[in-house]
Amino acid sequence: MDFFTFLFIISVLIVVLLLILIFFSDGDLTLMFLEKIGTRLSSARGKVYWVVGASSGIGKELAFQLAAHGAKLVISARRETELKAVKAGCLAIGKNAGLVESDVLILPFDVTKVDSHKHYFDLVIRHFGTLDVLINNSGRSQKAEFQNIKLKVDKELFKTNVFGLVNLTRVVLPHFLAKSKGHIVVTSSCAGKFGAPLSSSYNATKHALHGYFETARSELAPKGISITMICPGMVHSDILTACATENPGEQLGGKIGADEKRMKTERCAKLCAVAIVNKLDEVWISLNPVLFFLYVSQYAPTIARAFLSRYGVQAAIKTRGRREAGALGAR
């Protein structure tokens, strides 16, 4: 056996091994590796994290993960009642890590009201004296066929999912730059990596986040600022309840079935926390086949687009919540 034949065989074996690992993973391979041997979640102890969009879903569970390891928290969303419940959960979970009442600050506000951002950031600094990590997790989903979407819906989605987060980040940045240290986390989506059917406005906002924050990373990394883009796939949450449609002000009111194949929110939040403490640039968190498709779209984009063009709509409908699929089918 000559050297080149040996090299070819080794290469094939490595590719096969990687494919097997991907098929049995629920996150990209770097994330899976660092979950085992990377920086431990206990490194969050004593640091101040501001979780925006903490009243439910991934944000809520992420707050719980951080609290369990002794992180100090600012939790924000529009719904104060839900935030109070999250704070109670954080204090209960974080009791063994030494968390006390003053270590969890509730700051209810609407991220789209950008003129208020400086006020709320000042309250964070007044309470804790510093901020270590800003987690931009707020956002709203949307489901509709491309040709039916009213332009006002696009504008509303961008206002909520993009401009509010970008402005809040710019408000916080001078504090990070003054310290030459800081960490910005942005919850994007697997839909921010390829054009998933039946949610173009939502997908566009997630793609836009990558445009903004990848550029910001190139400018800010030399100044000591880390940026982590988190791309979750489908998880069990109430995201469909207030899901936008093609019409301004309309809500889909969809519901995810408990038996549907989606990642548990707690598991997704755990992997988000791992990505954050390890300061990864970008992570993919999803069950298969979406995780595998992300790799295909990254390394064989023409093949991925051909698949989406031929089978994307049918696949999207099959993987949506029951009420959502019915609503889309009726349109």
Q: Which residues are catalytic?
A: 202
For residue 289, whether the previous peptide bond is cis, meaning omega lies within 30 degrees of 0, is yes
Q: CB–CB of 56/82 below 8 Å?
A: yes
Q: Give the SS3 label for residue 199.
A: strand
Amino acid 136 reads: N
* Distance separating alpha carbons of residues 119 and 248, to the nearest angstrom: 29
Cα atoms in the Cβ-side hemisphere of radius 13 Å centred on 44 = 32
Query: From the centroid of its chain, how far is CA 132?
Result: 18
Ranges of H-type helices in 180-300: 200-220, 265-277, 290-299
CA–CA separation, 197 and 190 (whole Å): 12
CA distance 76 to 71: 16
- Cross-strand pairs, 226: 183
CB 232 within 8 A of CB 268: yes
**CA atoms of 270 and 154, how far apart (whole Å):** 31
Contact 203, 196 (CB under 8 A): yes
